[in-house]
Homo-oligomer: A and B are copies of this chain.
Amino acid sequence: MPTKLPVGILGATGIVGQRFIQMLEHHPWFDVSWLAASDRSEGRSYGEAARWRLKTAIPDNVARMTVSPANPKDAPKIIFAALDAGIAGELEPQFADAGCAVVSNSSALRMQADIPLVIPEVNGDHIQLIETQPWRRKSGGFAVTNPNCSAIGLVLALAPLHRAFTLETVMAVTMQAVSGAGYPGVASLDILGNVIPYIAKEEEKMEEETQKLLGTLRGSHIEAAPFAMSAQCNRVAVEDGHTESVAVRLKKKARPEEIIAAWNDFRAEPQQLRLPSAPAQPVVYMTAADRPQPRFDCDLGAGMTTAVGRLRKCNVLDWKFTVLSHNTIRGAAGAALLNAELLKAKGYLS
Contacts and interface: CB of A to CB of B under 8 A. Distances in A.
Interface of A: 15, 53-55, 169-171, 173, 175, 178-179, 183-198, 207, 228-230, 232, 234, 236-239, 243, 245, 247, 289-296, 299, 309-310, 314-317, 320, 322
Nearest to A57: B300
A6 B232 CA distance: 46
Contacts of A322: 197, 232
The 6 A-B pairs at the shortest CB distance, nearest first, are namely A184-B187, A198-B290, A194-B295, A173-B173, A232-B245, A197-B322
Nearest to A178: B188
6 contacts: A171-B247, A184-B189, A195-B293, A196-B290, A197-B243, A198-B289
Contacts of A54: 296
B179 A189 contact: yes
B185 A230 contact: no
A189 B179 CA distance: 7
Contacts of A191: 188, 192
A124 B256 CA distance: 41
Given A55-B296, A188-B187, A296-B53, A193 B230 contact: no
A299 B237 CA distance: 20
A238 B53 contact: no
A191 B193 CA distance: 11
Contacts of A238: 192-195, 237
A293 B229 contact: no
Work out how many copies of this chain go into the complex.
4
Contact of A316 (B185, B228, B245, B320): B228
A193 B322 CA distance: 17
Nearest to A56: B299
Given A192-B239, A299-B55, A185 B187 contact: yes
B173 A207 contact: no
Contact of A186 (B53, B173, B187, B198): B187
A281 to B, nearest CB: 13
A236 B295 contact: no
Contacts of A295: 55, 192-194, 239
A189 B183 contact: yes
Contacts of A183: 187, 189
Contact of A293 (B169, B197, B228, B292): B197
A253 B238 CA distance: 38
Contacts of A178: 188-189, 192
Contact of A237 (B173, B198, B236): B236
B292 A197 contact: yes
Nearest to A52: B296
A171 B179 CA distance: 28
Given A197-B310, A296-B53, A247 B230 contact: yes
Contacts of A197: 243, 245, 290-293, 309-310, 322
A316 B169 CA distance: 7
Given A196-B293, A197-B245, 9 more contacts: A171-B247, A178-B188, A184-B189, A185-B188, A195-B238, A196-B290, A197-B310, A207-B315, A234-B245
